[in-house]
Structure formats: structure tokens, C-alpha cells
Structure 1
Amino acid sequence: MVKKLITAASLFFIYGNINAQIDSLKMNLDLRTRAELDNGARTLISKGKSAETTVVSRARFGVDYYYKNLEIYFSAQDARTWGETTSAANKNQNFILNEAWAKYQVSEKLGLKLGRQILSYDNERLVGSLDWAMQGRSFDALKGIYKFNPNSKLEAVVTYNNDDNDLNDLPEKEIYSIAEAGEITKSLQIIHYDYSGKNKFQFSAIAMNQVLQNPSGAHYDLLTVGINSKKYLENIGFFGSAYYQTGKNTLAQSKNAYQFSANVDFLIHSKFNVILGTEWLSGRNFDTDSGENKSFSPMYGTNHLHNGFMDYFYFGNSHFNSFGLNDYYLKSNLKFSPNSILQANLHAFTSNGKLGFDTSGEKIPSYLGTELDLVFTHKIGKSITANLGHSFMFSGKSMEYLKNVPEPKNLQTWSWIAFRIAPNFKIK
């Protein structure tokens, strides 16, 4: 009798899941608010300048519909800084359609996805969702997904960009002028392969070509290829990445750049681990020829996950095509409970390229500064997460030169508190 009940319950569960994929509707909400006290985030703050307090928020609403082989998803969002519009504003420029795509499962192995969508690969070093920033990042793209087996798949993506302003177009070209990471990308093509093996082994490879458009209308190809790998043993893990960029950038400079990272994860206790690692992003020297570009560009990456939470490097359009970066870090996670985690990260930054000489003829040292990030995360129930963070930047003299802030405060700090409410539920 017991076996019959278990069998019947299992069949009911399986049928329910299959039926849900035949005709179902799911919804999700993402409400975020973050208050920040900026006393030196993103760049050095000068002596005599007061810290700035800002509150930012995001309200995102998503609907996911399934019918047989078709899935349709859209999400709309309002992302804003409190007070940037009046309380009686007659229009809202912060409201956008963050995602709007349709995915059709052509066969068991092949799927096609068309429309505005988030692209995120590996550890978001090269392409990521930028979810730390309230506006996030999404692309107008066509993506093909082919699953070789449950452990490996291949994705191919293509985008095409235009501003739809015929007044700017000449007969021989269609002008596009939006620059991201210092480059104007007319079209983007990505091929990404991912494999997950036994014993926590992961490997991925990516090739990303950008058709860049010079303001004159000329087009150039910028190619980035890279690999990511991860392997965990019983109490230790190894992971890292390597990328290479070649071709020409928007300014027609010849690109020859690289990224490399290596990490060791020590699983000291079930509630405590420590990661020791380094990342190098190549950069130009002070005397590099103007026609060459040796600076690696983590184009659409989420850099907040990598080189310090204070976002001194590769934030927005800053630090791209510059002196590069060497980052030596020690990261740790301490779990007080399943719902409470304390993260502590220590970074030491140096420039990858030579900075040159100061006005007295002395060589500018490569050391830029040291950053300490502390973040406490606590989950409240199923859908609510609270975060409390505080960061210190102990900058060196070379950081003053790099950021062009001659008299900064002795200590740069950044404090923040955030709340996120993100329920998911099925309507039918």
C-alpha cells in the first residue's frame, strides 16, 4: 500500500511539472533599495570635500509564459536615484523594458532566443548582467543554444546596433554613436562553449568579435578569446581564466592585450573558506606608441565582482585603454548560519604598465593602493535579503596621479546598506 501511494504521488508530481511547461505563467518581483555614504568610492575624494549620501532603488517586474515549445518572457523596471525627478513629474525617463524575448525549442537539443535579453557567461569577467548597478545590462540579440548532452552546451549570439536616426546616416554608412567601455560596437558576435564534468570540474571557452565603428564611419574588428576552468578536490579548489584581445579598437589602434587570473580556494571548514589569488589585466606604458593599444578591456563584464567593491577600475568608461591593473587579493567567507554570511576581501593594486616620471624626474611607482571590503549578508525569510557593507581604500601616491586628484583625503571610505525583496510565484 505504501509503495502504491509513493508511486501515485510521484506520477502526480511528474505530470504536474510536465503540464506546467505545457501552459503555465510565472511572475517575479525584484525590489531593491540601497543607501550609500560616498567618502571616496570610484575615485579619490579631495580634502575639504564632504561625503555624499545617495539612495538608489530598482523596481523590476517579470512575467514568464510557457506554451509547449515556446517560452515568452518580459521584464519592466524603474531604476532611479531618489530625488532626481520631482514628486509631480509628468514623465518618467527611468522606466524601461529590461527584457523582452521569445525562446522556441526547435528540438530536444536546439533552441532559439530572440529579443532583448541578458547575456552572462562564466564569472562575468567579459560579459555579465551588471546586476550590482540598478539599471543592469541587457542586449538586443539573437541567440542559438545547442545542448550536446546534460553536461555540455554551445551558445552563439549576434547583435546589430543602430540609432534609427536617418539624418545622421550617409549613403555609404549607418552611424551608431553609443560608446560602452570606450568602444562603439556596431555588431557583436559571441560563441561560448561550457562543460561540467565529474568531481566539480568545469571548463568553458569563449570567442567574442566586435565590429567597432569609428566616428568617421570606418569599421574594425576587435576579437577576444578566452578560457575559464575550475576544479575542486576534497578541501581545496583551483580556478582561473586567460583571455587575449587582438584586432583594432574604435580609434583604429592595433590591439594586443591579455588578461590572466589564478586562484586557490582553501575549504578550511564547512562554514569558512579563504581564496588566495591574482589577476593581471595588461595596460599601456607611458611611452607606448599612439597607434598601439596594449590595454585589456573587460568589455561588458561586471567588474564589481572582481577588482574591489569600491569600483576604482573599469567602472563605466573609466580606466579602459589605460595603464592596466595587477590585483593581488585574499578573500574569505564566514557562515554564521545558513542565513548569515560575512565576506572580507583584501586587495593590493599595482599598475600593469609603466606610469612614467613625475615633474622632478623620479619614476612613478607602480603601487596604487590597498582596499579592504567588508560585507555582511542576512536572509530574512524566503524572499528578503539585507546587506551591510563598508570599504576602505588606502591609496598610494600613484593613485593620485592615475585619478588626477592631487590632494586627496588620507583615508577613502564607502559605506552602504541595502535591502532586496524578490518573490517568485506561479499563477497557473
Structure 2
Amino acid sequence: MKQTLIFFCLLSFLSFEKIMAQDAKTLTHLLLQKKLITQKEADSLETLMTNSQKTAPENKEFAIGLEFRPRTEYRNGYKQLRTDDSKAAFFTSQRSRLNIDFSQNQFKFHTSIQDIRVWGQYGQTSTSGSLNVFEAFAEVGILKNFSIKLGRQKVELDNGRIFSAANWSQAARAHDGINLIYSNKKIHSEFFTSFNQTSERIFDTDFSPTTFSNYKLLNIHYLKAKLNKNFSLTTINAADSYQSKTSSNTLYTRATSGGRLDFEKGNLYLTLSGYYQFGQLQSGNRISAYYFQPEIQLKTNQLTTRFGAEIMSGDNADKASEISKSFVPLYGVAWKFMGNMDYFTSFPTDVKNGGLVNPYLFFTYDVNQKISLRSDFHLFYLANKVNNNLNQNINSYLGFENDLSLHYKCNGFTMIDFGFSYMTAEKSMETLKGGNSALTPMWSYLMITFKPELFHFKK
């Protein structure tokens, strides 16, 4: 009889007092006052309810967010030099994304549906479109600090030079694969692996690389370690494999190994990154190339100054070799490092295998919490000898670029970006990019980004 009374009392308390068993002491005190239980029974009940709270599932969370990003561009020398007959380009592109997130204890799901288009690309009554899935992955917790992420996902590591989501591109970049993630207070480690096919198959794994230029196999290990108060170390070891264009049974693998050492103290930041590339290219030729990036950064009040250089090895046009010396920055972003005008994005094609040296000086001035101004200065030099059409060595100095930009944060979900870039190109740039170096290349853009949260539910 007593147990029945206790049960109804407990049910009444949970229903009408709406405390949902989160205050065990209050409930047991009430039962003791009514002399429905003894002190010993109260202690047992309190222990039971406290333990049940510890095993209760964590709250579930569901959110829907929007990203709407139109960008208008004026191009008159973007990516390649102007000619006497060329005319400026003017257009607006647009990215629309719907981001959906769900999470609960030891489980997360994210998908991003996007539409990419140029205004006027599709007719008023067109049924064509560019709707696709940018990301769609699930992340499951396996052990403490250890999880596995499966599906289409961004691979953005370190500063984005070797692996980046390339967010400036309206389409951006994502990979299909599996990512094993381990993270604690001192280290963060990821191992990403991907095996690609162009379609479902019954037999064989022929990749048809003549019609689809993507890697067949990719393995990456990324490690970020905090060495002490001032130093941190990052390592990236990657191997991407391409199927031979003549034999489906042959796989050529290129390996890239290296990392970054950082030092930070107060307003001073020093870093040095370096990578070595070896193995085989898709053509079957061997590669032995390197990349270095030293940089110093200083913050003083509202001004941030960065001074550094990128050095990419290249081939000597006067010395034929079966081993390529041209470094390729894999699946990273270029405009962030080598100028917004994108003259050097496809390596080694854009430098005719000559490599590149890019000394730079960046200034960022925060006017206030909403407005920041930036000016980037670049000098471009060939790292090795390149010949013109007359088989003569060209001058290694290619030109100078200045990128000016303004960023304005209107509110928590609206940003406006404006940029203007120009270049003074040397005669030697004509060998790489054609056109007339006497005509000043220019490029400008205006971009508005809206990123509001449309819906957020937490239980």
C-alpha cells in the first residue's frame, strides 16, 4: 500500500509541480513531511533519482540556417592580361545555401543544399538549374574525444594552403570520404580517406580518368599539437593517387609531407611552413618538389601587419629532366595567398613549370568592430628559368599586384565586402598570360552575404 501511495505521490509531483525529477531533495523532503516514507527510504529514492538523471539522454538540437551571397564583378585583366581588342566583363553570380543541422548525444548530422548561378544564366521559363548538395555528413562519437565523420564534407586544414574549402568560389570544394577525428586539449588529429568512382559498378573499378579529372584515392593525416605556451606544431601528410590514362590497373601516387611551426607571444607571431612532394604524377613521371612559407605578423592596436613570402620550386627550361621539380599546392586555395586577381591558381600550368616566388606585405586596419580595411602587396618572380617562343630565357620578375578591400559587418547576419585590385605586369608576364603588359589589368567586386538563422529548436 505504501509503495502505491509513493508512486501516485511521485506521479503527482512530476505532473503538477513540473520539476521533472530534477530536484530529488525537494521530492524526498515532501514525502518525508507527509510521513509516507522513512528516512532510509528517502535516501534510497534520492540516490535512485540522482543516478537516473546522470543516465538521461542529452538534449536534442535542430537548426536551419540560410546563406545568400550575390557578388557583382568587373573584370578587365582578371586571370590574364588585357589585349588592345579585349573588352571588360561585368556580371553577377549568386550562391544560395540552406544549412540543416541536427545533434544529440554522440551524433551530429549536417547537410548544405546550394544553388549556384549567374544572373541570366537560365531563361525566365527555364526548367534547368544548378541545385546540388555541397555537404551531407554524419558524425558519430565512438569513444571519449574520438569520432568518425562520414559523407560529403569540407576538408580544410591548417591555413588552407594545401587543403581548403575554397569558400571564395561560389561553388566551393568538398570531398566524399571518411574522417577519423581525435581531439583533446593538447592535440587535434584527423585521418581522412576517400576512394572515388564515377558511377555504380558490377565489375572492376575503372575510373575513366579521360572524362573525369579527379583523384581515385586520397589519404590525409593532419595533426595539430600545442607544444607549450608559445609554440605549436602542425603536420600534414597526404597521398593522392590517379589512375593511368592508358591502363586501368596502374595507379600513380603523389605524396606531400610537411607542416608548420608557430610561435606566438603577445602581439608577435612567427611561422615557418614547408612541404616536400615526391612520388609520381598522373603522367607517370616522377616528382621531387618543395614549398616554403616564412612569415612574421605584428599587431599594434587596430593595425595588423604581415610580411612573408611563398617559395615554390620549378623546372629549369634549359635543363631537361625526367623528374618534375614543380610543386603543386594540392587542393588548397590560391587567391588568399597569391593575389586576388587569380593569376596563379593552376600549378604548374600558370607558371609554365617555372615555379614561383611571392614576397608579400599585408596591412589590415580595424576601424571599429564593424569596419575593417585591408591592403595586400605582392611581388611575383619565377623560381626557375622559363623560355619564350623564341626559346630565350625571360626575365624572372613578372610584376606587382595590389589588392584593396573593405569589410563591413552590418549586423549579426549581414556582411558587405568591396574590393579593387590592379597589377603592373612586366613583359615576361606575356609569356605566361598572353596579352599586352602595357595595359593595366584591373578587377573589382561588391559582395553581400546574408547568413541568418531561420529556425532553432532545442529540447
TM-score normalised over the length of structure 1: 0.88
Following TM superposition, the consecutive aligned residue runs of length 4 or more in structure 1 with deviations greater than 6 angstroms are: none
Alignment of 1:10-409 (within 5 A): 22-92=59-129, 94-147=130-183, 149-164=184-199, 173-177=206-210, 184-199=214-229, 201-216=231-246, 217=248, 218-267=250-299, 269-289=300-320, 291-315=322-346, 318-319=349-350, 322-356=353-387, 359=390, 363-405=393-435, 407-409=436-438
The C-alpha deviation readout for 1:119-157, integer Å capped at 9, x for no partner, is 10001111100000000100101010112x212121101
When Rg is computed on C-alpha atoms for both structures, the one with the higher figure is: 2
Report the Cα distance in structure 1 between the residues aligned to 2:175 and 2:286, rounded to whole angstroms. Answer: 27
Give the Cα–Cα distance (whole angstroms) in 2 for the partners of residues 19 and 88 of structure 1.
53
Say what the alpha-carbon RMSD is for the aligned residues: 2.3
Query: Which amino acid in structure 1 is aligned with residue 194 of structure 2?
Result: T
Amino acid at match of 1:419: I
Output one character per residue of 1:192-228: Cα deviation in whole Å (capped at 9) or x when no partner: 1112355453321010001111211321110001111
SS of 1:28's equivalent in the other structure is: strand
Separation in 2, partners of 1:409, 1:95: 42
Share of identical aligned residues, percent?
A: 26
Moved more, 45-54 or 367-376: 45-54
State the Cα deviation string for residues 40-59 of structure 1 (Å, max 9, x = none).
11111212311100111100
1:69 deviates by 1.2
Matched residue count: 402
Unaligned runs of 5+ in 1: 1-7, 9-17
Structure 2: give runs of 5+ residues left out of the alignment: 1-21, 23-54
What is aligned with 1:5? none
Q: Secondary structure at the match of 1:410?
A: coil
- Matches of 1:317 and 1:59 in 2, distance apart? 33
Q: CA deviation at 1:279?
A: 0.7
Is the 2:326–2:348 contact (alpha carbons within 8 Å) kept by the matching residues of 1?
Answer: no
Q: Which amino acid aligns with 2:219?
A: Q
Q: Does the 8 Å CA contact 1:118/1:129 hold for their aligned counterparts? A: yes
Q: Using the alignment, how far apart are the partners of 2:211 and 2:301 within structure 1?
A: 47
The letter of the residue matching 1:46 is: T
Change (3 A) 1:187 1:21: farther
Inter-partner Cα distance in structure 2 for 1:226 and 1:248: 17
SS in structure 2 at match of 1:89: coil
C-alpha distance in structure 2 between counterparts of 1:316 and 1:258, whole Å:
13
The separation in 2 between residues aligned to 1:154 and 1:165, in whole angstroms, is 32
